[in-house]
Amino acid sequence: MKKRCYFILTALLVLISACAAIQISSFDRGTYEHLTFLKAQMSELYSNYTQIGIQISKIRKMQILLEQYAEYEKWKPHNTETYKQFQLIEDMFNRHLRERLDSKNPWSKSYTEHKLSMINNLINISIKTELHKNRGC
């Protein structure tokens, strides 16, 4: 009887130790809210790319927001995939911005929709990544 209890206790300790060694990133409601907010803000900002002139203050706000969200993700443990995804979103946004600033004319509506769908696809992947993370107990 004692041997059986020791065996069960030992097996339980081994199982707990093994589970503790596995490091899984956890769902973060803040990250999910950041991503859904970002998607809406991105749509609003890109709609301005079809107009003459660009509102630099709105662009700067978006850049600060992207930097802030990436920094939030950077320091969370076991979260490299989401941090890298935020970096990809930020990089794509900056490429699109440079392209728009370099063009002498506003983007057409269809071209703007195409560029917006590209960045929205990245955001959607990040949202799905976050939703598939461990939600804990």
Q: What is the pLDDT of residue 27?
A: 78
Three-state secondary structure string covering the chain: CHHHHHHHHHHHHHHHHHHHHCCCCECCHHHHHHHHHHHHHHHHHHHHHHCCCCCHHHHHHHHHHHHHHHHHHHCCCCCHHHHHHHHHHHHHHHHHHHHHHHCCCCCCHHHHHHHHHHHHHHHHHHHHHHHCCECCC
Q: Where are the domains of the chain?
A: 2-131
Q: What is the pLDDT of residue 21?
A: 46
Give pLDDT < 70 ranges for the chain: 1-25, 136-137
Q: What is the pLDDT of residue 75?
A: 86
Of 22, 39, 35, 27, nearest to 132 (Cα)?
27
Measured between alpha carbons, how far is 46 from 97 in angstroms, rounded to an integer?
A: 9
pTM of the full predicted structure?
A: 0.79
* pLDDT 10s digits, 103-130: 989 999 999 999 999 999 999 999 998 8
Q: What is the pLDDT of residue 69?
A: 93
Q: What is the pLDDT of residue 61?
A: 95
Measured between alpha carbons, how far is 82 from 121 in angstroms, rounded to an integer?
A: 14
